[in-house]
Structure 1
Amino acid sequence: MISWQAKALNLFLKQTVKRSIENTKDVNKLRFQMRALDKFTFGVSAKIERTQLIREGILCDEIKLKLSNSKKKLLYIHGGAFVFKTPAIHNNFIARLVEPLDVHAIVPDYPLAPEHPFPAALDCCYAVYKSLLDSGTLPEDIIIGGDSAGGNIALSLLLRAKHNGLPMPSCCVLLSPVADMTQSGLSSVENRFSDALFSLEVMLHCRNLYLEDDNHDLHNHEISPLFGDFSGFPPFMFHAGSAELMRDDSTRLAEFMLAKGVDAHIQIWHQMPHVFPLFEQLPESKAALQQIVEFIKKH
């Protein structure tokens, strides 16, 4: 059963945010609209400390428990269709992970398209991951997280790290990752009208802004990580909604990873919107968060 809070959120997203995004082709207007949505957050725990730090020339939000000396690092790559960001919503969610896990979260403020198209965001996040290893953080003390477009970058980062011989992190948690830029999954058609946040047309528009031109091979695993080789990957957990466009990105990723011997876990939530764990007012979000915390603690 879907909660009444989730039903209300779906209605709100469809009637306001989705309509607004569909009617906006100008990226700056879209960013302005998403900044307005970004204000609908609650305060974080008084136990949380948030600072900013430059890593490898990249500004990063740093979120941890006050006075914590934990060696555990959570490298979290935020979503935003490659073109916008909602730092309040994302940092609020990350803080809800930091408190029960006592990890030091690092959130790169990676460059956005179309001003900085592929592979700028990937290069940035890869550099931050490599810097953690180079500075002495053990791979088993690193967790990778991400949502939506950030999930795409996280997967591509790990595929590049594997290719370059870097060690894998302890585990990875992704929320509704964008993994298939060819849009070959059935949910791209099946959920075209049921997705509460994005239309297929908007997704394709943002994809084109990210890739800048038509010369890229959409099957390149740094663009569509679904087509990468997952052998040797760490344990993974996926959360997605049953009615969203990118549902099958998660289901197919889990299927392909399991075929390569990866310990992959997937949870598809009935009628839940895209990246719903970010919305803390939902009972389903609290349940998903608890599953994520237990998964990370195991690894």
Structure 2
Amino acid sequence: MISWQAKALNLFLKQTVKRSIENTKDANKLRFQMRALDKFSFGTSSKIERTQSMRESILCDEIKLKYSYSKTKLLYLHGGAFVFKTPAMHNNFIARLVEPLDLHAIVPDYPLAPENPFPAALDCCYIIYKSLLDSGTAPGDIILAGDSAGGNLVLALLHRAKRDGLPMPKCCVLLSPNADMTQSGLSAVENRYSDALFSLEVMLHCRNLYLEGRNDDLHNEEISPLFGDFTGFPPFMLHAGSTELMRDDSTRLAEFMQAQGVAAHLQVWREMPHVFPLFEQLPESKAALKQIVSFIQQQKN
């Protein structure tokens, strides 16, 4: 059984957010409509300090415990279909990770499509990852995490780092990652109506905005990282909902990673909406957060 809170949230998302964006073609209108999600964010703990900084001329949110000098960096790449962002919701979730683990989180404000199509967002995030290494942060002190489109960027970043001979981070956490731009997973059809947040048409529209219409190379590992070589990747934890469009991005990722020797831990949650751990009012979100914290603690030890 899922919680009554999850049932209520699914109904709300389907009746309001999903319905309002189904026929939205303008990126700025989509961004305005998706601001409704930021209303689901509560205030962060008084123990958390949030600042902004410029790293390599890129604006970043920095989230850490007050008076902390933790050397462990969490590079978090936010989702938003490559087109929009919900900073309050994302930063609140990141703060919930930072507090029990004493992490120093860095959240790049990467450029959005369609004004800045592929590979602008990936280039930005890669620069930040490389700058952490260049500034002396040990690879074992870096954790990568991302949700949805941010999960795509995490995977693409690692494929590029591997190609360039850069070291891998300690571990990675992905929430409902968008790993397959070909939409070849069964869930893209099977969950077309059950997904509480996105329709397939909206997903394809955002994909086209991100790729600027270049759909001739959808199997490129920096576009659909599902089809890359994962040999040598660090341990992963993945969370997804059973009824979301991108469920099979996670299930196939875990399968492909495990076949190539990567320790990939997958949890598929019954009837949970897309990136449900970000909705802190859900009991399932709290349970997922505990699993993520435990996973990162195990990797740090």
**Which runs of structure 2 are paired with 1:1-299 in the superposition (5 Å)?**
1-214=1-214, 216-299=216-299
Residue by residue over 1:21-54, the C-alpha shift from the partner in whole angstroms, topping out at 9 and shown as x without a partner, is 1021111111111123313311100000000011
In 1, the alpha carbon distance for the partners of 2:239 and 2:40 equals 22
In 2, the alpha carbon distance for the partners of 1:215 and 1:45 equals 43
- Equivalent residue of 1:34, what SS? helix
Q: Percent identity?
A: 84
Evaluate the alpha carbon distance shift between residue 216 and residue 62 of structure 1 in structure 2; reply closer, same or farther with a 3 A threshold. farther
In 2, the alpha carbon distance for the partners of 1:136 and 1:216 equals 39
Equivalent AA in structure 2 for residue 149 of structure 1: A
Once the two structures are TM-superposed, the CA of residue 215 in structure 1 deviates from its matched residue by: 5.2
Once the two structures are TM-superposed, the CA of residue 122 in structure 1 deviates from its matched residue by: 0.1
- Equivalent residue of 2:240, what SS? strand
Farther off after superposition, 19-28 or 41-50? 19-28
Q: Pairwise CA RMSD of aligned residues?
A: 0.7
- Contact 2:244 / 2:273 at 8 angstroms: preserved in 1? yes
Once the two structures are TM-superposed, the CA of residue 216 in structure 1 deviates from its matched residue by: 3.9
Residue by residue over 1:100-143, the C-alpha shift from the partner in whole angstroms, topping out at 9 and shown as x without a partner, is 00000000000000000000000000000000000000000000
TM-score by length of 2: 0.98
Farther off after superposition, 16-25 or 84-93? 16-25
Equivalent AA in structure 2 for residue 122 of structure 1: L
- Equivalent residue of 2:150, what SS? helix
Residue by residue over 1:152-176, the C-alpha shift from the partner in whole angstroms, topping out at 9 and shown as x without a partner, is 0010000000000000000000000
In 2, the alpha carbon distance for the partners of 1:141 and 1:135 equals 12
Farther off after superposition, 226-235 or 36-45? 36-45
In 1, the alpha carbon distance for the partners of 2:126 and 2:284 equals 32
Which sections of structure 2, spanning at least 5 residues, go unmatched? Answer: none
Evaluate the alpha carbon distance shift between residue 203 and residue 161 of structure 1 in structure 2; reply closer, same or farther with a 3 A threshold. same
- Equivalent residue of 1:267, what SS? strand
Once the two structures are TM-superposed, the CA of residue 185 in structure 1 deviates from its matched residue by: 0.3
In 1, the alpha carbon distance for the partners of 2:32 and 2:277 equals 23
- Equivalent residue of 1:274, what SS? coil
Residue by residue over 1:87-109, the C-alpha shift from the partner in whole angstroms, topping out at 9 and shown as x without a partner, is 00000000000000000000000
In 2, the alpha carbon distance for the partners of 1:37 and 1:229 equals 35
In 2, the alpha carbon distance for the partners of 1:38 and 1:270 equals 24
Equivalent AA in structure 2 for residue 273 of structure 1: P
Evaluate the alpha carbon distance shift between residue 215 and residue 252 of structure 1 in structure 2; reply closer, same or farther with a 3 A threshold. closer
Farther off after superposition, 89-98 or 23-32? 23-32
Once the two structures are TM-superposed, the CA of residue 214 in structure 1 deviates from its matched residue by: 2.8
Residue by residue over 1:156-202, the C-alpha shift from the partner in whole angstroms, topping out at 9 and shown as x without a partner, is 00000000000000000000000000000000010000000001110
Once the two structures are TM-superposed, the CA of residue 258 in structure 1 deviates from its matched residue by: 0.2
- Contact 2:17 / 2:36 at 8 angstroms: preserved in 1? no
In 2, the alpha carbon distance for the partners of 1:169 and 1:297 equals 14
Farther off after superposition, 213-222 or 121-130? 213-222
- Equivalent residue of 1:268, what SS? strand
- Contact 2:220 / 2:227 at 8 angstroms: preserved in 1? yes
In 1, the alpha carbon distance for the partners of 2:158 and 2:66 equals 30
Residue by residue over 1:228-257, the C-alpha shift from the partner in whole angstroms, topping out at 9 and shown as x without a partner, is 000000000000000000000000000000
Which sections of structure 1, spanning at least 5 residues, go unmatched? Answer: none
In 2, the alpha carbon distance for the partners of 1:282 and 1:94 equals 16
